[in-house]
Structure 1
Amino acid sequence: MDRVEVVVVGAGVVGLAVARALACAGSEVLILEREGAIGSGVSSRNSEVVHAGLYYPAGSLKARLCVAGRERLYAYCAERGVEVRRCGKLVVATTAADLPKLDTIEARGRAAGVVDLQRLSAAEAIAMEPALACAGALWSPSSGIVDSHGLMTALLGDAENAGAMLALRSPFAGARRDGDGWVVATGGDEPFELATRWIVNAAALDAQQVALAMQGFPAAAVPPVWRAKGHYFSLAGRAPFSRLVYPTPVDGGLGVHLTLDLGGQARFGPDVEWLAPGAALDYAVDPGRQAGFEADIRRYWPGLPAGALQPAYSGIRPKISGPGEPAADFVVAGPAEHGVPGVVQLFGIESPGLTACLALADEVAGRIVPCATQK
């Protein structure tokens, strides 16, 4: 039976970053991916925003890894020629009643180590973006946008150059203990088994299912499954904005915000549609949501032309907290946390997972290879 040191389940941006970190630290790594291409799930169905770290409680993994990962990400993209732009973001209060929310966001960001935030009056914000309507804003110059596909291609290239291997169309089917390691079984058209010392579960939407397919892993250590679908609409024509514009957050997400792709095209989203437990994944965009989008957008861009939105795409976020509950932190759990040798579980890796991917990878690698660092 073939043997590798580490099996990484999932070839999204986090799984690829983990594989890169471990391979560069000298581990023999195999990446298992259910689909026929890397990054075809959560990693390719988001806003591609580089977050500064405004929204997460101080001391949380999300706060720490977002702030650390953001600068790592900008530096890595510059080194590898991945397109990225530090365009900045305005978080806007659309009414005076929302101004205290900006105070909360600013205080939380500063407590997490975001040192470059600036409060703006309505006039100052509108001077930056004349099409904007607001009662005040918070300016985050460290926010940006990134080519997520280019990033994933670079991470995979680094991992493979360091000896990692990728198996596409190889869904994780289960694992059983074997001595001091595991035997991993795959499904797909060409199933196989291989022995490994470590399994890293970076399966995003399927993370709980993967964990429960590991022999002897305690169900009590697997968090509940919640999924929130977010729709995106694109703008026909050019938007009169050069920066990202976010309203104050809503339950389950950050509100219908305006982001720009690297070509300058505007898109709006995501909204939040909580999916019923066990519901099949459906990425169709409901055109009937357009009216709601238009109403939300006109709160901060009253000049949105009628009929200018068109359905774009949707994504589904792997949440571990449900409607009305406080947003849960990332879960990165190794043997010290759950008691099972040779396993690192990642649960609830939603936003800011893209921004934090390099820092998340080191968090995992440190549990497997002491003092492992990425180049």
Structure 2
Amino acid sequence: MTDSVECVVVGAGCVGLAVARALVLAGREVLLLEQHDMFGTETSSRNSEVIHAGIYYEPGSLKARLCVRGKALLYPYLRERGIDHKQCGKLIVATSPAEVPRLAFYQSRAVENGVHDLELLTMQEAQMREPLLSCEAALLSPSTGVFDSHTYMLSLLGDLENAGGMAVFNAPVMRIRVIDGGSELEIGGEEPSTIQARHLINCTGLHATAFARQMDGFPAEHIAETRYAKGRYFMISGKAPFARLIYPMPTNDSQGTHYTCDLGGQGRLGPDITWNVPLNDYAVEEEARFAFWQAATQYLPCLKEEDLHASYAGLRPKIGQPGQWMDFRIDGPEVHGVPGIVQLFGIESPGLTSSLAIGEYVSGLM
């Protein structure tokens, strides 16, 4: 006899955990499946751990709405659970006179997105806050921060299980068939099984396209194409040069090679962006150091190239082309016409910040 479950969420990164948590807190029966032996082993553990404010994104887009809502949910959650975090703030810097007008543009866009706490700073005002900073002007975002994403995901998992949900690891989904009333899933691992789900939510991140293509009976024209973009990081030895995060001007597909620091005060640069890399390419090539140093000296001129050390890399699931801005895709039955299935494509930054809001949003689609 085939077991049946009301909701199956596949993928235990920060978004899958948040979606599963939201569903179980809404009173649903939830099973969370993960192919690896641990949660958050891919995109969720290879990023900057930044809490974004919601500045850059197209007004009205899912990225804008879910980032702003996600930040509003995330800070109280971290405080309530005692999860380590720091609201350190961020400076977006104009490093040439030509870039200065863009600061006002991003301040105006932020207001459209519901972010009203940004402050334009002159060169002197920015350097009073960060003496080593070189810029023509800057935009201060006081609500940007960093946090311990691993403990956050562990807390989400605890919420899921405490509310009666179940997470199963080492449980790859081998095949899916759309059936009347839901989906039928063949699950591999040490104890293979077949289950039926009334609702199936694809939160597989880097694997979202491949996972959707496994669905027998799901229309191919509603499956997004995913390309992998690698972002590398270099650590800065010695004392951290800045108290705040420092971001150069963004492009359509990247926020530039920026400066962040972890909760221990270790400074780092990254990520950069390299398009169309293979899955699992996490190499940080030592020869990239010069490009990182060159980019960072635009706002940190005292940085020495020998102070940079190759660290780690992450992959982002891109559903657009190089140079193209793309929104999140969270497609429910009203988009693709298949009852009970929700597909999440292109969940990159600000997915970590947005995760609690994404959980709310997906639960609302039910």
Aligned counterpart, 1:373: none
Distance 2:318 2:305 in 1: 34
1:59-138 superposed matches below 5 A: 59-138=60-139
1:188 aligned partner, one-letter code: G
Q: Give yes or no for the alignment of 1:197 onto 2:195.
A: no
Aligned counterpart, 1:157: 158
Per-residue Cα deviation, 1:222-267 (whole angstroms, up to 9, x for no partner)? 1121221000011111112111000011352101111010111111
Aligned counterpart, 1:358: 356
1:306 CA drift (Å): 3.5
Aligned counterpart, 2:313: 314
1:25 CA drift (Å): 1.2
Aligned counterpart, 1:238: 239
**Which one is further off, 333-342 or 246-255?**
246-255
1:364 aligned partner, one-letter code: V
Report the 3-state secondary structure (helix = DSSP H, G, I; strand = E; otherwise coil) of the residue aligned with 2:215.
coil
Per-residue Cα deviation, 1:267-322 (whole angstroms, up to 9, x for no partner)? 1100010025xx34211111110000000010000011330111110001011111
Report the 3-state secondary structure (helix = DSSP H, G, I; strand = E; otherwise coil) of the residue aligned with 2:353.
coil
Aligned counterpart, 1:371: none
1:107 aligned partner, one-letter code: S
1:18 aligned partner, one-letter code: V
Aligned counterpart, 1:142: 143
Cα RMSD after superposing both structures: 1.1
1:335 aligned partner, one-letter code: P
Task: Pick the aligned partner of 1:332 from 302, 311, 330.
Answer: 330
Aligned counterpart, 1:16: 17
1:178 CA drift (Å): 3.1
Report the 3-state secondary structure (helix = DSSP H, G, I; strand = E; otherwise coil) of the residue aligned with 2:306.
coil
**Which one is further off, 14-23 or 219-228?**
219-228
Report the 3-state secondary structure (helix = DSSP H, G, I; strand = E; otherwise coil) of the residue aligned with 1:248.
coil
Distance 1:44 1:268 in 2: 16
Distance 1:242 1:293 in 2: 20
Distance 2:144 2:203 in 1: 25
1:256 aligned partner, one-letter code: T
Aligned counterpart, 1:179: 180
2:229 aligned partner, one-letter code: A
1:54 CA drift (Å): 0.5
2:353 aligned partner, one-letter code: T
Aligned counterpart, 1:343: 341
Provide structure 1 residue ranges, at least 5 long, that are not aligned to the other structure.
Answer: 369-375
Query: Does structure 2 retain, via aligned residues, the 8 Å contact 1:88–1:243?
Result: yes
Distance 1:178 1:218 in 2: 14
1:164 CA drift (Å): 1.2
Query: Does structure 2 retain, via aligned residues, the 8 Å contact 1:228–1:252?
Result: no
Distance 2:296 2:89 in 1: 19
Distance 1:87 1:348 in 2: 28
**Which one is further off, 151-160 or 244-253?**
244-253
Aligned counterpart, 1:372: none
Q: Give yes or no for the alignment of 1:300 onto 2:299.
A: yes
Report the 3-state secondary structure (helix = DSSP H, G, I; strand = E; otherwise coil) of the residue aligned with 1:37.
coil
1:24-63 superposed matches below 5 A: 24-63=25-64
Report the 3-state secondary structure (helix = DSSP H, G, I; strand = E; otherwise coil) of the residue aligned with 2:9.
strand
Report the 3-state secondary structure (helix = DSSP H, G, I; strand = E; otherwise coil) of the residue aligned with 2:66.
helix
1:102 CA drift (Å): 1.4
- Figure out how many residues of one structure are paired with residues of the other and give that number: 365
Query: Does structure 1 retain, via aligned residues, the 8 Å contact 2:282–2:314?
Result: yes
1:87 CA drift (Å): 0.6
Query: Does structure 2 retain, via aligned residues, the 8 Å contact 1:93–1:135?
Result: yes
Distance 1:226 1:100 in 2: 33
**Which one is further off, 218-227 or 188-197?**
188-197
Distance 2:213 2:178 in 1: 13
1:71 CA drift (Å): 1.4
Query: Does structure 1 retain, via aligned residues, the 8 Å contact 2:146–2:263?
Result: yes
Distance 1:86 1:105 in 2: 20
Distance 1:174 1:306 in 2: 49
Report the 3-state secondary structure (helix = DSSP H, G, I; strand = E; otherwise coil) of the residue aligned with 1:109.
helix
Normalising by structure 1, what TM-score?
A: 0.95
Query: Does structure 1 retain, via aligned residues, the 8 Å contact 2:290–2:305?
Result: no
Distance 2:63 2:9 in 1: 21
Q: Give yes or no for the alignment of 1:288 onto 2:306.
A: no
Query: Does structure 1 retain, via aligned residues, the 8 Å contact 2:89–2:143?
Result: yes
1:103 CA drift (Å): 2.2
